[in-house]
Amino acid sequence: MRSGVERMLGARVVEASSVPLGLTPGLASRLVLDDGRRVFVKAAGVHRGASTVEKLRREGRVMDALPPEVPAPRLLGTYDDGRWAAVACADVDGRPPTTPWTRPELDRVLAALTECAAATTPSPLPGPSFVLDWAGDLTGWRQLPLRPSAEAELRAVLPEDTHWVTRDLERLGRLEAGWSVGANGNTLLHGDMRADNIVLTDDHVWFVDWPSACVGAPWLDLLFLLPGVVATGADFDLEEIVRTHPLTRDVAPETITATLAALAGFLVTVGLEPPPWYAPEVRSYQLAEAAAAIRWLARRG
């Protein structure tokens, strides 16, 4: 695999340093090449699961199709020998947003999301469809009643001020069922917009890690980002953001509410699952996002 990546890049690797793996098991490294270039490479083998390798193949296809105006690192090449797959892109020397988020950094990311949506509309790829990709995931409130100990589980992992959901599962299930009404569209979405997929430099915002890209309404990435922003402890008026932002201000309020309900249900149900071995902290992060989404949902009525 190393030899194949070096042939693909046209240079020899002289230095490599691992970076946090995120939510995909496999190699993630910053490389220095013998011609002086710095490259970021992600790779995985089939021993990590066929789905992991397929995600990398999908990311390579997405990044190859992104218009140059999209704030994403430039794709340098892909490698695939049937057992291993790798994606190489220009290395971005930056950092994730501050924790908790600050309003200046959030404003920069919100502006970049607007630019990104404009650059990917119409989508340079035919699919997959966001509605089809997420159809099985955004059913959390309807699935929870099937768990015999759902109420006790929710009370054990959610903050007390969000326990009202245990008494309202039926209504929340009906509410989330309407999420797909406004979700169709012809924008290529990132599909996994959260802080660890955002890199800030002094003069640029970069969106990285594109294997979950899909086609849908242009406002979805923004809505899915916001609960995670306030889950860090930031005190922002999310209602003001969706009311005034160009991507959401013309979306029907009931569509926003239904999609937010569906997102909260998804975060709750995945948060109850055992954590994967390669990201043991992810469930607590998802439950913090779930609590933020539930609090926001309560304010929307």
Q: Do residue 118 and residue 263 come from a single domain?
A: yes
Which domain does 228 fall in, by range? Answer: 103-300
Q: Which of 40, 57, 90 is the last residue of a domain?
A: 90
- Per DSSP, the residues of 259-270 read HHHHHHHHHHHH
Q: How far is 301 from 289, CA to CA, in rounded Å?
A: 19
Same domain, 124 and 266: yes
pLDDT of residue 154: 97
Mean pLDDT across the chain:
95
Q: Specify the pTM.
A: 0.94
Residue 68, in any domain of the structure: yes
Q: What is the pLDDT of residue 152?
A: 96
Express each pLDDT in 201-231 by its tens digit: 999 999 999 999 999 999 999 999 999 999 9
Domain membership of residue 95 (yes or no) is: no
Q: What share of the chain is helix, strand, coil (3-state, %, to 5)?
A: 50, 15, 35
Cis peptide before 100 (omega within 30 of 0): yes
**70 with 155, same domain?**
no
249 and 107 both lie in a single domain = yes
- Cβ atoms of 233 and 137 within 8 Å: the answer is no
Asked if 269 and 244 count as a contact pair (C-beta separation under 8 A), the reply is no
Indicate whether 49 and 118 sit together in one domain: no
pLDDT in tens, 13-69: 999 999 875 677 889 999 999 999 999 999 999 998 888 899 999 999 999 999 999
What is the torsion angle, in degrees rounded to the nearest 10, for the CA atoms of residue 219, residue 66, residue 209 and residue 221? 0
- Residue 159 and residue 72 share a domain: no
Give the end-to-end CA distance of the chain in Å, rounded to a whole number: 53
Q: Which residues contact 177 (CB under 8 A, 6 or more apart)?
A: 142, 258
Q: Do 128 and 82 sit in the same domain of this protein?
A: no
The pLDDT value given to residue 26: 87
36 and 178 housed in the same domain? no
CATH number of the domain residue 296 falls in: 3.90.1200.10
Asked whether residue 96 is domain-assigned, the answer is no
Choosing from 69, 90, 111, the residue where a domain stops is 90
Q: Using an 8 Å Cβ cutoff, are 259 and 267 in contact?
A: no
> Which of helix, strand or coil describes residue 152?
helix
Is the same domain home to 179 and 296?
Answer: yes
If one counts the domains in the chain, the total is: 2
Residue 281 lies in a domain: yes
Question: Per residue in 225-263, pLDDT tens?
Answer: 999 999 999 999 999 999 999 999 999 999 999 999 999
72 shares its domain with 175? no
- Give the pLDDT confidence score for residue 8 in this predicted structure: 95
Query: 178 and 67 in one domain?
Result: no
- 214 falls within a domain: yes
Does the residue 97 lie in any domain?
Answer: no
> Both 142 and 194 in a single domain?
yes
Question: Any residues with CB less than 8 A from the CB of 11 and at least 6 apart, and which?
Answer: 33, 34, 35, 37
Whether the pLDDT of residue 288 is over 90: the answer is yes
Does residue 98 lie within any of the structural domains? no
Among the three residues 90, 125, 146, which one is the final residue of a domain in this structure? Answer: 90
